Structure 1
């Protein structure tokens, strides 16, 4: 094999095709956990500083979340497609096609995000008015979103670039990029928001500028790693024919994955609307519970990023026994881990409720949430990891179908029916039952699909 078709070895990468399965997943996942913890922490700091500006700036930035999350969900979906395609090529030792796909993914994501943000830039007023923003908030929304739209193309760094690195087995570098970009944002936030020395106070616009600078840093960092350290992308333009082929492969998985990602906030909005019928205390408690869920399921989210590259590489190499082993190891670990998390949450429920509120009604509802819903987080982990595994096996439509069934056939309907009979406790119990049923469906379907795949080569399956 020629030098141009080989990927430079790097000590940060693990051998996904040969290293022990459980140890490999552990080595890949732990760095991702560190990066995600840092990023979540810095994002909380970001919200904290904007909150110091007052209610209106905080409300304005809250209105931006659905729009920004839509763009981010799209790039995450493209990242999932990128990771699956590249990892499969690397598993087949086809490094030229892997580099083509990585390069094409950056072009594709930049073009799509730029087009989407351009449209958003010119329809800011009608879009946010439709979302319910009052006219008095529109100037503040413009201050933030005009900068955000301009810099959004830099999202290809942390989203697509990190997906390429994970596909090659390197999860330490993405965690460094996530953490350092978040740190830069946290440091610059108070400087640009409130002013420091010669830098004037820019309010909510300062928060957007801090975010933009952190993204530019992340993009520059990841491009340097991809070109100079790992040799995972081309530094010259791809021929049009190769570019089109690579983009089709990525979109085949990326678009369904992005669609599945965008279903989650929609389901959350519907769930919040149901909860709202029980009053402001219920909404406040549900909001606290939802934030606790993102922390309690951190390991699941980290594994959902590291399991797919492992599966895709071994799938490409035809080592389906390692795919099966990895899936089962991840599922068993998540079930045990989330039981431990549930016990901790249940024992600390009184203390957790007291930290978030002094109102007895809200505290009681927070405790009710903690005692019921986290019991199903391990089962929710099965659902998430199964979806990730189907994407990794280049079966994105099955993953999308499972997401639709989970949210709109099991989770939301059972939660609503439960609320009709037993109020808020029934709502939580119904959501729990929805996760139980969907976990059983997901595990059974993956087992059947795996048996089917085991009898065919990767070329025959895809």
Structure 2
């Protein structure tokens, strides 16, 4: 990562993650497909769960960013034992925080989903799904944090295989538990949630075995409560702002869902399906957001700011080109998408609006996501948090709301695209200014070191004389 060709190195780290994320997300879309067969209300119910489930996942992603950054720095400094302690603390901290968040979500389910605009009938379907989801949330977080530990050690292939296995299991179990095929009872929405929890449990077992027994990357427990607190502070210094930045997304998504809900259940159903499609279109972006930070962190630690900037620019160019191609693919597949997810003409129409407009902004949205990850990799989590605030609450939500006021759902989607374009321009200039400043600091430190060395040698020469 410090000396190899930048493009080739990034690709070598990223392609295994693309495979894993693609498999996982593809099976999540299959999950949506099976739920859509139950009816429009069931599909709408899943749409309402997005802001809540994504809140938990966003917290986990933020903690994973902190975990990866701290452990990678420890390993780079040959502090292997301390890295093991940090990894152990990260798993226990994540389980504690996510468990607490899931409990709060379960207790306050009624006011949360009422605020999002779900009707009483749809709330019953939501509870069928979310009660099981909340119960298994900790089984979701441990594999995600465990994968971050492995990526920090340089292994991106194993996490991708674990993600792929979980997605495959979920896709196989979905029809069995939702519709009651073979010896299984028909559980409907509960079956969809149970399939996910079973898949998470398998991932949990695998990751604990690999981390503790086979790879010995972590200890089962932190060596002491004092060490746990010390590691927790380090993790939260980066992880908490990163988690906060990620958790802003479901808040914004919740606001947009409430706006979309004013257009009826079919609109929410289509919006939820569109969000799943967006996750497929963003697979490479998500993979790069996991592999670019370790590359940046190591080069930043080595003082190679030029490689940091070059890697950042290379990733942005690649994402913009790829997402332009992805837009054309989604347009061509629009009839297939409508046939797969729309059971009513109203749902099909909103899906058409979504696919024609929203993917226009996926490339620049990817630039924002990668900039956010790069800020965290440079140990500037506050800048990442501020960028998320600007993107979502200065640009995205206000412009989407304004678009809805002027042109309904079509205007809402157009407003979102405009917001992403403006924020991408801001994020690029912000990152380049920050790294230019870092480059100046590194060069100043090197000059000071050179002067000190020269002075020391001069002094030794005089003493010798």
Would you call these one fold, judging by a TM-score over 0.5? Answer: yes
Partner of 1:456, secondary structure, is helix
Which has the higher mean CA deviation after the structures are superposed, 182-191 or 164-173?
A: 182-191
Per the TM alignment, residue 453 of structure 1 is displaced from its structure 2 partner at its CA by 1.6
Task: Report the Cα distance in structure 1 between the residues aligned to 2:36 and 2:354, rounded to whole angstroms.
Answer: 26
Per the TM alignment, residue 147 of structure 1 is displaced from its structure 2 partner at its CA by 3.2
Task: Report the Cα distance in structure 2 between the residues aligned to 1:297 and 1:81, rounded to whole angstroms.
Answer: 22
Per the TM alignment, residue 70 of structure 1 is displaced from its structure 2 partner at its CA by 2.0
Choose the corresponding residue for 1:35, options 20, 32, 35: 20
Map of 1:389 onto structure 2 = 374
Map of 2:288 onto structure 1 = 303
Query: Normalising by the residue count of structure 1, what TM-score does the alignment of the two structures yield?
Result: 0.83
Is 1:329–2:329 an aligned residue pair?
A: no
Choose the corresponding residue for 1:85, options 43, 49, 70: 70
Which has the higher mean CA deviation after the structures are superposed, 103-112 or 29-38?
A: 29-38
Q: Are the aligned partners of 1:90 and 1:316 in contact in 2 as well (CA < 8 Å)? A: no
Q: Are the aligned partners of 1:157 and 1:220 in contact in 2 as well (CA < 8 Å)? A: no
**What runs of 5+ residues in structure 2 fail to find an aligned partner?**
446-465
Is 1:150–2:135 an aligned residue pair?
A: yes
Map of 2:145 onto structure 1 = 160
Per the TM alignment, residue 176 of structure 1 is displaced from its structure 2 partner at its CA by 0.6
Per the TM alignment, residue 239 of structure 1 is displaced from its structure 2 partner at its CA by 2.0
Query: Normalising by the residue count of structure 2, what TM-score does the alignment of the two structures yield?
Result: 0.83
Choose the corresponding residue for 1:313, options 286, 294, 298: 298
Is 1:220–2:205 an aligned residue pair?
A: yes
Map of 2:424 onto structure 1 = 439
Closer, same or farther: CA 386–421 of 1 in aligned 2, 3 Å: same
Map of 1:95 onto structure 2 = 80
Choose the corresponding residue for 1:268, options 253, 260, 266: 253
Map of 1:9 onto structure 2 = none
Task: Report the Cα distance in structure 1 between the residues aligned to 2:91 and 2:336, rounded to whole angstroms.
Answer: 46
Task: Report the Cα distance in structure 1 between the residues aligned to 2:357 and 2:404, rounded to whole angstroms.
Answer: 14
| 1:37-52 equivalence runs, <5 A | 37-52=22-37
Choose the corresponding residue for 1:113, options 98, 109, 121: 98
Is 1:248–2:233 an aligned residue pair?
A: yes
Task: Report the Cα distance in structure 2 between the residues aligned to 1:112 and 1:221, rounded to whole angstroms.
Answer: 22
Is 1:374–2:356 an aligned residue pair?
A: no
Q: Are the aligned partners of 2:40 and 2:266 in contact in 1 as well (CA < 8 Å)? A: no
Q: Are the aligned partners of 2:43 and 2:272 in contact in 1 as well (CA < 8 Å)? A: no
Q: Could you report, residue by residue, the CA deviation over 1:56-87 in whole angstroms, capped at 9, with x for unpaired residues?
A: 65555554443332222211211111112112
User: For the pair shown, which has the larger CA radius of gyration, 1 or 2?
Assistant: 2
Q: Are the aligned partners of 1:91 and 1:315 in contact in 2 as well (CA < 8 Å)? A: no
Task: Report the Cα distance in structure 1 between the residues aligned to 2:70 and 2:293, rounded to whole angstroms.
Answer: 10
Q: Are the aligned partners of 1:192 and 1:201 in contact in 2 as well (CA < 8 Å)? A: yes
Q: Are the aligned partners of 2:116 and 2:255 in contact in 1 as well (CA < 8 Å)? A: no
Task: Report the Cα distance in structure 2 between the residues aligned to 1:129 and 1:346, rounded to whole angstroms.
Answer: 35
Closer, same or farther: CA 41–102 of 1 in aligned 2, 3 Å: same
Q: Are the aligned partners of 2:85 and 2:222 in contact in 1 as well (CA < 8 Å)? A: no
Please tell me the root mean square deviation across aligned C-alpha atoms, in Å: 3.3
Task: Report the Cα distance in structure 2 between the residues aligned to 1:417 and 1:375, rounded to whole angstroms.
Answer: 19
Which has the higher mean CA deviation after the structures are superposed, 142-151 or 435-444?
A: 142-151
Task: Report the Cα distance in structure 2 between the residues aligned to 1:315 and 1:117, rounded to whole angstroms.
Answer: 36
Which has the higher mean CA deviation after the structures are superposed, 35-44 or 87-96?
A: 87-96
Task: Report the Cα distance in structure 2 between the residues aligned to 1:118 and 1:151, rounded to whole angstroms.
Answer: 11
Map of 2:456 onto structure 1 = none
Per the TM alignment, residue 51 of structure 1 is displaced from its structure 2 partner at its CA by 4.4
